[in-house]
């Protein structure tokens, strides 16, 4: 079964065609992505109106490119020649109608204008191709990024840590289509904290990778001067988290330096911020594993691209008594992409009545 998936919840326009392999994992036949994130670096954050307009412009070329790659991959023949010959959109459309079994799309949560571009495009294609339409929760998509590639799928029950720009949640996946939220932030998301702190340092959006880059520079110099940022709620005894106090403490540290924030200061602050965020996320993950004893642990979301977080979680699990297998998506499937939406649809495909599907910017995780 081939699933055509669209993701447009933030500033990406992403399309992918995926299918399940006989090993039970998800194979990506073809994908394409366009991002307007560079346009938001100057504004220090995503401007919704700008993002949605760019998505309208990018949608057809991205659909075309993803279909072209999928067609080539599924034929497995003379790829270069086919690619260089170019394939007309009409012909691709015919191929899709014949080969695609289902259309999946991110329904929410996200920015309304952006979601609408994806949802309305998906509805149109589902109607044109006469295929069922499956609305997918973006956050479920992040979890299912862990089913892409690899040799064997995660075993259930699994615990998941979704850490993105807008969400930080710990979820228990009992079975496919059966999720329970067991912890998470009560205020800012971890990614939001990184983005806002980066902005205070004058770094471009998105801030997470910038903080990580500076922190690595500091690490390389091996001058360990701690500034003592808090680890909020680390020992709260439950699975709740908070990142707004950390952000406030960070801002105070920057303000205390006045006008003279040097490159070295920035690196040191970024280092300490990354340490604080990662320490809390890893600690809460271990506490959750201790409580629920899952078979698998699924790290996911944009912040899961962070190399310190990936490394630390792996190390701490290795050194623990937990018999849990850690899954972490490839970096490109941590940040927003369409393959993860297709993967979620592979395992949760109750088709909806097209006329009732609508974008839902505030869609809850469960
Ligand atoms: O999942 P995602 O692409 O979009 C949302 O659904 O929000 O996550 C974006 C978040 C941003 O806050 C970004 O700063 C963060 O992921 N991020 C990172 C890294 N790459 C992206 N944070 C830390 N380290 C990274 N390497
Ligand atoms: Zn996301």
Predicted pLDDT of residue 226:
67
Binned at pLDDT 50, 70 and 90, residue 185 comes out as very high
Is 25 a residue whose pLDDT tops 50? yes
Binned at pLDDT 50, 70 and 90, residue 80 comes out as very low
Contacts of 22 (CB under 8 A, 6+ apart): none
Ligand 1: nearest atom to the Cα of 205 = 14
Q: Which of 207, 201, 311 is nearest to 267 (CA)?
A: 201
Residue nearest to atom 3 of ligand 1 (CA): 335
Reported pTM: 0.95
Q: Which of 117, 5, 108 is nearest to 56 (CA)?
A: 117
Binned at pLDDT 50, 70 and 90, residue 75 comes out as confident
DSSP code, position 345 = H
Ligand 1: nearest atom to the Cα of 138 = 6
- Cross-strand partners of 326: 297
Buried b (16+ CB within 10 A) or exposed e, 290-309: eebebebbbbbbbbbbbebb
- Chain-centroid distance of CA 149 in Å reads 16
Report CA(302)–ligand 2 centroid distance (Å).
6
The mean per-residue pLDDT over the stretch 292-313 comes to: 98
Q: Which protein residues touch ligand 1 with a CB less than 6 Å away?
A: 10, 164-166, 191, 194-195, 206-209, 212, 301-303, 305-306, 335-336
Closest ligand to residue 164's CA: 1
Report CA(206)–ligand 1 centroid distance (Å).
7
| Strand, coil or helix: 188 | coil
Least confident range of 8-22, 159-173, 213-227, 284-298: 213-227
């Amino acid at each position: 079964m081939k699933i055509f998936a669209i993701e447009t919840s933030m500033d990406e326009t992403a399309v992918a065609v995926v299918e399940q392999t006989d090993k039970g994992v998800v194979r990506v036949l073809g994908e394409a992505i366009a991002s307007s994130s560079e346009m938001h670096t100057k504004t220090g954050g995503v401007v919704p109106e700008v993002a949605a307009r760019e998505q309208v412009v990018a949608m057809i070329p991205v659909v075309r490119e993803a279909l072209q790659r999928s067609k080539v991959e599924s034929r497995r023949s003379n790829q270069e020649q086919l690619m260089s010959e170019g394939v007309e959109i009409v012909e691709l459309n015919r191929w899709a109608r014949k080969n695609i079994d289902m259309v999946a799309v991110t329904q929410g949560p996200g920015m309304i204008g952006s979601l609408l571009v994806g949802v309305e495009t998906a509805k149109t294609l589902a109607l044109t191709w006469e295929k069922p339409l499956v609305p997918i929760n973006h956050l479920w998509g992040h979890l299912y990024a862990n089913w892409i590639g690899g040799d064997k799928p995660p075993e259930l029950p699994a615990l998941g840590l979704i850490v993105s720009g807008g969400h930080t949640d710990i979820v228990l996946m009992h079975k496919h289509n059966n999720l329970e939220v067991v912890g998470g932030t009560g205020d800012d998301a971890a990614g939001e904290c990184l983005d806002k702190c980066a902005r205070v340092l004058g770094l471009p959006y998105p801030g997470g990778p910038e903080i990580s880059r500076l922190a690595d520079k500091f690490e390389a110099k091996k001058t360990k001067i701690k500034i003592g940022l808090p680890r909020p709620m680390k020992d709260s005894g439950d699975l709740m988290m908070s990142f707004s106090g950390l952000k406030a403490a960070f801002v105070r540290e920057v303000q205390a330096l006045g006008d003279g924030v040097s490159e070295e200061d920035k690196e040191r602050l970024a280092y300490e911020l990354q340490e604080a965020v990662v320490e809390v996320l890893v600690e809460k993950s271990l506490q959750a594993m201790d409580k629920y004893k899952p078979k698998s642990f699924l790290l996911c979301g944009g912040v899961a691209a962070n190399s310190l977080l990936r490394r630390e979680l792996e190390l701490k699990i290795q050194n623990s008594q937990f018999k849990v297998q850690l899954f972490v998506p490839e970096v490109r499937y941590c940040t927003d992409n369409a393959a993860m939406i297709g993967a979620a649809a592979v395992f949760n495909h109750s088709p909806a009545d097209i006329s009732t599907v609508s974008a839902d910017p505030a869609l809850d995780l469960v």
